[in-house]
Amino acid sequence: MLFSRVGLCITLSLLTIELGAQQEWPYSPVQRPEIPAVAVEDWATNDVDRFIQAKLDSKQIIPTQAADKRTLVRRLYLDLLGLPPSPEEQQSFLDDTSEDAYANLVNRLLDDPRYGEHWARYWLDLARYADTAGYEGDPDLPYAWRYRDYVIDSLNRDKPYDQFIREQLAGDELVDITGAGELPNPPAENLVALTFLRLAPFTEPRGDESRHEMLSEMTTTVSSVFLGLTVGCAKCHDHKYDPIPTKDFYRMKAFFATVAIPPPLRGDGVQIGGPTHAEFYREGEEAAIESERDRLNEEASEAQQKRAELLAEFRTRLQLNPGFGIQALGREFGNDYFFDQSTVTDRVPHTTAVTADKGTWKFYTDGQPSAIADSQISAAKP
């Protein structure tokens, strides 16, 4: 029993040492490691390969052989575009016997617009992108798609990563201020990039409480995306595992305290804040949107006309006009339905009033008595 306890203590001590080492590395300064020596020099094609090969050598594992060209072309298409190559694209690579065939294909796929579309999905997941705001109301975020396109364009244009980060965290402050006058407007692309901070699920507006919920969401997301740390866990208590006290959460949140959220659009009882205007900056984007808007308006007009034709046909066949109806129950009314068939489906507001005097009903639509002959109906007594 004693030996068992000693063994358990040793195991726990080793585990604690290992966990301690794991907790220290995120907070250690970045250092450039030495390139390891490897047993077989002709397998590695770059320094990254040498680190992999050194680890394999330490485990006495022989590196696998290079994949055949058919496997390579499929892997490359799936990795970069998320789609397999067409038979023609695959055969073109198989027929290319030049030494640079693989490198040329890599460059061609990186220039393919589908590259940005595929890899943007992973960043959009980190940014908690959605076209709606979530919770029970789940209202639309009608301009969120512009941030999606910003991410796709950034990847396809090979935008430097540091610039990509700055635009999303402080895009409105990346303008030169040359005097004490009115602050210059930031570029439209930078305003769209700031959507990163705005993407968050939220429920109905609750004043200052909603503002602090959004600022806390910004703090949590920025720390997890850019620091790889769950700082959000320290919002209500010191972090259970990482050395992050609660005060550090609010010290970090203070960076976002000056964020100004535009007021909601008048009549919008769902949104916590209105959109910030940003001009369309992508080539041909505004013209394409106007063209699409015209097409949708034309479709809506045609659908409205078709609806009116169908409604007129149904009225003729059924010999009925939609209007107001009431069901009378009990006593002398029995179980009867009474209708005023004045048309009220012309997309114009109408008022209907119904009065009852013992067994007599009277209908008024827009202040006028019912047009039907029996607008005053006396219920027969049983």
- Out of 101-115, 188-202, 211-225, 338-352, which region has the weakest mean confidence (pLDDT)? 338-352
Give the pLDDT band of residue 168 (cuts 50, 70, 90).
very high
What's the pLDDT at 1?
45
Distances (CA, A) of 206 to 203, 216, 264, 269: 9, 15, 13, 11
Question: CA 215 to CA 172: how far, in whole Å?
Answer: 17
Check residues 135 and 231 and name the one with the higher pLDDT. Answer: 231
Give one word for 359, left, alpha or beta, with left for phi > 0 and alpha for psi -120 to 50: alpha
Give the pLDDT band of residue 375 (cuts 50, 70, 90).
very low
CB of 172 closer than 8 Å to CB of 190: yes
What's the pLDDT at 196?
93
Chain mean pLDDT for the chain: 81
CB of 282 closer than 8 Å to CB of 149: yes
pLDDT in tens, 123-134: 999 999 998 887
Check residues 381 and 321 and name the one with the higher pLDDT. Answer: 321
What's the pLDDT at 372?
58
Kindly state the percentage of the chain with pLDDT values over 70: 76
Radius of gyration of the chain (CA): 34
For the chain, domain boundaries = 116-174+184-263, 286-318, 324-378
- Rounded to two decimals, what is the model's pTM? 0.71
Give the pLDDT band of residue 214 (cuts 50, 70, 90).
confident
Question: 3-state class of 352 per DSSP?
Answer: strand
Give the highest mean pLDDT range of 81-95, 120-134, 351-365: 81-95
- Does residue 355 have a pLDDT over 60? yes
What's the pLDDT at 83?
95
What's the pLDDT at 206?
64
**Which residue carries 């009431």 as its tokens?**
326
- Does residue 2 have a pLDDT over 60? no
- Does residue 16 have a pLDDT over 60? no
- Does residue 62 have a pLDDT over 60? yes
Question: 3-state class of 366 per DSSP?
Answer: coil
DSSP 287: H
User: Which tokens go with 222?
Assistant: 């920025």
Check residues 333 and 51 and name the one with the higher pLDDT. Answer: 51
What's the pLDDT at 17?
43
pLDDT in tens, 230-289: 899 999 999 888 888 999 999 999 988 888 776 666 766 555 566 678 888 888 889 999
Distances (CA, A) of 281 to 34, 152, 285: 46, 14, 7
Give the pLDDT band of residue 119 (cuts 50, 70, 90).
very high
The percent of the chain in helix, strand and coil, each rounded to the nearest 5, is: 50, 10, 40
- Does residue 12 have a pLDDT over 60? no
71 — phi, psi (to 5°)?
-70, -40
- Does residue 27 have a pLDDT over 90? no
- Does residue 4 have a pLDDT over 70? no
CB of 342 closer than 8 Å to CB of 371: yes
Check residues 79 and 354 and name the one with the higher pLDDT. Answer: 79
Give the pLDDT band of residue 136 (cuts 50, 70, 90).
confident
